[in-house]
Structure 1
């Protein structure tokens, strides 16, 4: 079984159990259709969602087309969702929920980016370690604030 199926299952679970926030780090959100019902359910519960996409300049033509379609759909359907594009390559993908800087809450799934490694051989981790999730949220916030932009420029 490749890492895609279990990671989508874990991601949906994170969306379902989030209490306040979801932070997504993704290349093109190519798995969006697989998590869409859980994504919408989280939005229905007023969960704050931020998505950090990889800048299209780092994508293959195929992934760029997928990203463009997903971003367009999110723009049209979920105006409350905030997203940006990372200027630099991202070493991992994943989802964080409900981190606290007191290290008391938070859950996450992370998958490392390994371009030439098949999905079924990639590393993935699921954690409820509050300090680790808080640290990854700090990483997310730094990329969001200092190394990303709000819109795709043609």
Structure 2
């Protein structure tokens, strides 16, 4: 197992200090399937759009092409957001959390982010009594 001490080093890092991305990627605590969670957030409105999973290949493709790519757990293959719907996500900025186990992808979303045609995937409100649909699909 790779040491995650780079994240401890980064905790003490100064503003603007840089690290080699290869070293950081080697230290990410990928899960048993080689994945970490990726939260997509609209870069302008700051609305949280969705949560998906990325493997190293999807992350590197996203960083190099600026078009967001995920790992589809159901299809067991790379999933380029919008490849069938046309509702692509363009990467504005990628951030890794403090212990390296989650990504925040600040994106420009074209069309709805959710496959239900809603603006985001978090449209079901919960309380102790019920679950409530909070948004209409975009048509």
Superposition TM-score, scaled by structure 2 size: 0.25
* Higher-strand-fraction structure: 2
* Higher-helix-fraction structure: 1
Superposition TM-score, scaled by structure 1 size: 0.24
| Greater RCO (Cα-Cα under 8 Å, separation 6 or more) | 1
Task: Determine which structure has more spread, i.e. the larger CA radius of gyration.
Answer: 2
